[in-house]
Structure 1
């Protein structure tokens, strides 16, 4: 396969944290990064390769969205300005009961993936239903996709009970074994929707099949207080008692955690998916990310679903994560820009067990990378490209996206997905959902 050599103005490899390379080039050989070297040396050594000049751009690892419900993009704006349980019980779950299908999940996931790719996200850790549809969408988009097999105790339009959800999730995983860009997790929805026996089954299966676990944990204060009333212990303590806590667990949200719980997360190697925009919009609270990081907890960033964010903009959420960490802690040095960028890239990769393959720009790793054009007026002058990536750049400045060396976005245009077709599908679903009395106020 031919070599491609990229010549950006800056390269931000993420490791070592805060590093900025100028006058350097990155060489892609097939699916992997084969070298990062001075630009003048690269021009001599690879004169016959395909060369791409990126004169005002910064090259960095693709962003890792550590918690998303991609298909829910079709429910964007259906129910706003509500508390979590009102939002779920009275709006989202009824809408899903009406519309949940393979077609809904496939179309919604494709729409979400187009949005994410154009914003620089190359990996998504998803959690939803109709896992085959999510997987097919990921393959069509060319995006690195982690399919979370949702598990609940009660029936939905997809499954009847916990055993049914598990069976369907494992069948989907078996069907797509060998697809390099696809992997699966077991995704028990939350401690308040999953019973002890089911959590025990999940732990056993995860160990046997070497699967990750993806679960909402400590998202709201009422979740914690209700658990104390029902089980006599907080949700995290219950999960610890059941053997759920460990390096294969991604705990989404973790908004309400005390010092002892942060220490427990660190000891057990649990990863946290921080969802700053969704947490604020649903008034769930502000996660103590600065304290988590200080305690030694690995933290990545997620958008959550577009029904509760309402966008899938990882650059915006990375900025928000840095800012609210400062404001909530009273420390302007909390979560500085290089650390926030690491959370959005390598932090997510670590949580997914992919840090040896993605999350930083290093020779031998997969060529999951993006170029951001900092040459427009809102990001001039450029004294520090990392500062601009976190505090100034917008997602429409992402110009190029590669996953495993394959170009998915070029000069801002999607290469694997048809924007016009996706827009038409979104309008079709809007009409159908509105006709059922949802989506209007």
Structure 2
């Protein structure tokens, strides 16, 4: 059955960046079959189901290129702010991940998917810290989020889910083969990265991604610690070492890449290696993005960069519009130059640029005939949209995910009037709340609050 999203201002993000004022989008099954004039599409598809978008703004679904779907969501705002570097990860997040059950992974991923979709994020790259991939894939499929997933990939001496190199690669292969490229949920090679992988694992992961024609992602250089440790161990900076190993390439999405020198930036550009940029996390954790981040420069030089929201105790909110505004602001302020990298550039990273960075621009990222019907309808009956101006400026500077009214993924209406359609969100919230205390207890960490809490019942 054909659906028509009718009468909105359609921000296509096609090569000409056309905006159809009062236009429409026609969808047949999971594919877009028409974008343009409302009168023409209505005449062509008589009897179609109509979603009224009159007065609204219609955009492509947004891309979150780095999101921890499990672990942090169940302990949201539990990790203290004022911790030494690394403590939030190794004293909190890693023990919590290690204590996750199959059901914890399902509930946690469900929470992440609900937050993503209700903020207009339709595609997520999981960051590589899932224990039970089948539980996560089940949750994402039920709710309707497009995503890539993997499992923990590190071969260090101690830590949850660590294993010998061959076993880690076998687990990666199993996930990729279980969720092949082209599905709503597809498997990627997902390594923890940093300095927490042997050279054999890094090379094996890259070879596996190339063999199976899928993506690979890993963490690298959010702080100075990775360059320091790589220099100590190898005599080379991280990206240079990866280049020497043959790991870089269009298959690879590096999360972060904040502390890069000139040679490393050049290597990323030469090899078409992509970056997932998570600016809220770097500010929240004090990692130096204002002084060292070069993501806007990489975009301006033709590199592939997507936006990410990271973990719910780092970036905190799964909202790519909010992230886009920060990315633009940091780019302009760091150079004290209001003429560079504006709202329209940032919205590209949230949509078609992000899709290009994760290797899916042939399927998502713009509203064009033949692409997957991942569509977001933004309500505009709020003060931030009144009166109307340049739609790109208002999307990035003037609003955030709270303007999202409806979302379709692969033609399926997964959010209607701001509510996820496939599950009982209230019941999910209740279960997540009930699981938090037992998870923290099993992880051996204690929930603390900065301000004293008194029983006021």
Give the alignment's TM-score, normalised by structure 1: 0.95
Alpha-carbon displacement from aligned partner over 1:158-192 (angstroms, at most 9, x marks no partner): 34343333222322333334872121111121141
1:202 aligns with 2:205: yes
Q: Is the 8 A contact 2:60 2:351 kept in 1?
A: yes
Provide the secondary structure at the position in 2 that maps to 1:70: coil
Structure 1 residue 31, shift from structure 2 partner: 0.6
In structure 1, list runs of 5 or more residues that go unmatched: none
Q: Distance in 2 between matches of 1:250 and 1:143?
A: 20
Give the superposition deviation at 1:137.
1.5
Q: Aligned partners of 2:18, 2:270: CA distance in 1, in Å?
A: 29
Mapping of residues 270-289 of structure 1, within 5 Å: 270-286=273-289, 287-289=293-295
Deviates more, 1:149-158 or 1:205-214: 149-158
Give the equivalent residue in structure 2 for 1:68. 67
What's 1:87 paired with?
88
Q: For structure 2, list consecutive stretches of 5 or more residues without a partner in the other structure.
A: 450-457
SS of equivalent residue, structure 1 residue 22: strand
3-state SS in 1 of match to 2:311: coil
Whether 2:253 is the aligned partner of 1:250: answer: yes
Q: Which runs of 4+ in 1 moved over 6 A?
A: none
Aligned-pair CA distance for 1:42 = 2.4
Task: Find the residue that maps to 2:250 and give its secondary structure.
Answer: coil
Q: What is the alpha-carbon distance in structure 2 between the residues aligned to residue 416 and residue 181 of structure 1?
A: 16
Partner residue, 1:223: 226
The residue correspondences of 1:128-207 to structure 2 (distance < 5 A) are 128-129=129-130, 130-154=132-156, 155-177=158-180, 180-207=183-210
Structure 2 matches for 1:287-366, cutoff 5 A?
287-366=293-372
Does 162-171 or 53-62 show the bigger shift?
A: 162-171
Aligned to 2:388, the other structure's residue is in SS state coil
Shift of 1:135: 1.3
1:46 aligns with 45
Displacement of 1:438 after TM fit?
A: 2.7
Return the TM-score normalized by structure 2: 0.92
256 and 387 in structure 1: CA distance in 2 versus 1, 3 angstrom threshold = same
Q: Is the 8 A contact 2:92 2:445 kept in 1?
A: no
Deviation track 1:256-287 (CA, whole Å, cap 9, x = no partner) reads 11233222111100111000101111111212
Give deviations 1:331-384, integer Å, cap 9, x for gaps: 212221111111011122112221111100000111011011122112211111
Moved more, 284-293 or 36-45: 36-45
Measured on the aligned residues, the alpha-carbon RMSD in Å equals 1.7
Aligned-residue offset at 1:84: 4.0
Once the two structures are TM-superposed, the CA of residue 95 in structure 1 deviates from its matched residue by 2.6
Is the 8 Å Cα contact of residues 119 and 313 (structure 1) preserved in structure 2?
Answer: yes
Q: Deviations over 1:378-426 (max 9, x none)?
A: 2211111111111111212100100110100011111112201210111
Of 383, 388, 394, which aligns to 2:400?
Answer: 394
Equivalent residue number for residue 24 of structure 1: 23
- In structure 2, distance between residues paired with 1:419 and 1:367: 24
Alignment: residue pair count: 439
Query: In structure 2, what is the Cα distance between the partners aligned to 1:85 and 1:180?
Result: 35
